[in-house]
Structure 1
Amino acid sequence: MTATTPLPAARPLRCWVPRGVYAPQTDTRLLGRAMCREPITERTDVLELGTGSGVLAMEAARLGGRVTAVDISWRAVAVTRINALLNRLNVRVRHGDLATAVPGRRFDLVIANPPYVPAPGAAPTRGRARAWDAGADGRLLIDRICDTAPRVLRPTGTLLIVHSHLCGVGATLTRLTEAGLRAQVVDRARLPFGQVLRSRLDWLRERGLTAEGTTEELVVIRAEPA
């Protein structure tokens, strides 16, 4: 399908999202608003980890940034390239596992909307669920991004990462602090459980990840070298 994705800009981006690629949702928009508050210019090197459809990478490019987008999914890589062409935006797209796709490089801004949904069983290595399932505690990629951030950020760089309260906001803040970064929550949004979370509600309650409620809070965490 082809969709228009309203992010904080004058003209909506054209964004083709085929089956098997994560479609822009509330977490995308929340991260996009936080990203647009950052001082992105033609001298800003931006890295998006787990680009999906590429909509945030394109928004960063439209703001003037020199953007590199990474995804482990070949389909997402292809879709991001197509979407960048549709919008006539310059986005370098790399296939790979997080920052291993850009060895030795450092960036002024790193953004990430990783899979963060707690899930029973091992994390999938293919299929649609790979875009959201992230192990029993939802932190399979979040922890890796926290640990990697100091090596890919420039001394004045910034990390923006979005995820659900179900995988532990405090744990992310602690992990980033231990990695040598100053971190704080800069955006929040509460929304009803979607289809995936509703389908595993009993399991989430058994693990103590949610009580009686059926809403989740999304947060954007901003971190920079201490």
Structure 2
Amino acid sequence: MVLPGVYAPQEDTALLAGVLSGESLPAGAAVLDVGTGTGALALAAAVRGARVTAVDVSWRAVWAARLNAARAGLRVRVLHGNLFTPVHGATFDLVLANPPYVPSPAGGRRPRGAARAWDAGHDGRMVLDRICREAPGLLRPGGVLLLVQSGLSDPGRTVALLQEAGLKASVVRRRRIAFGPVVRGRERWLRQRGLLALAEDEEELVVVRAELPV
């Protein structure tokens, strides 16, 4: 169920869910889903018997995720807050992240309303850089971060930052998709900035996997 103003699961959610399905999880794994939206990824982890905590900055998303977990008969703890703040001091076997990653002409201004689900500053890294800084500290030895983002927001930087933090990181899945409404709406600006080539008519999504060595 998607409540008004909550980010609906799309190609990026499906791509990350596909990688999640192939990820080995220890029995009773502790899983964190940040930016949970409707809770789709949290539910996918809970189905596998994981102990799942989900976080979103939007109260509407929190209620949507709680409702969807209840309807599915799955136990998911859904918390309201900004990224990792509600789980300060906790550690996890798996962290899932589908953060806002679309470059925005609005620059450094904090997005409001539904745009919080996709707008991420001029370079698309307003939230990605924070995840790269903070997620390694939430992983248990052998723990894994799975993160989906656009090729428009420099996946190479994501991999490099996670490697600098001591994780084994790489892009493990790629998919090219037609422009969605957000990218279409700022296509001219993205081309002017050189983030889209003149002949490019698709956006690449990637999943980055990063593991904390044992």
Fold shared by both chains (TM-score > 0.5):
yes
SS in 2 for 1:58: helix
Supply the RMSD in Å over aligned alpha carbons.
Answer: 1.1
Specify the SS of the correspondent of 1:128. helix
How far residue 100 of structure 1 moved from its aligned partner, in angstroms, is 1.0
Equivalent residue number for residue 224 of structure 1: 211
Residue among 195, 205, 209 paired with 1:209: 195
Paired residue for 2:50? 65
Cα 1:111–1:97 change in 2 (3 A) is same
Matched, 1:194 2:149: no
Name the structure 1 match of 2:100: 115
Which of residues 127, 136, 144 is equivalent to 1:150? Answer: 136
SS of corresponding position for 2:15: helix
Residue 131 of structure 1 is matched in structure 2 by 117
Q: Any unmatched runs of 5+ in structure 2? A: none
Q: Return closer, same or farther for 1:137/1:186 CA change in 2, 3 Å cut-off.
A: same
- One-letter code of the match for 2:45? A
TM-score, normalised to structure 2, is: 0.96
Cross-structure match for 2:148? 162
* One-letter identity of the residue aligned with 1:35: L
The CA distance in 2 between the partners of 1:26 and 1:125, in whole Å, is 22
Q: In the comparison of the two structures, how many residue pairs are matched? A: 211
**How far 1:124 sits from its partner (Å)?**
4.0
In structure 1, list runs of 5 or more residues that go unmatched: 1-15
Contact 1:160–1:223 (8 Å) recurs in 2: yes
* Matching residue within 103, 112, 123 for 2:88: 103
- Using the alignment, how far apart are the partners of 1:151 and 1:144 within structure 2? 12
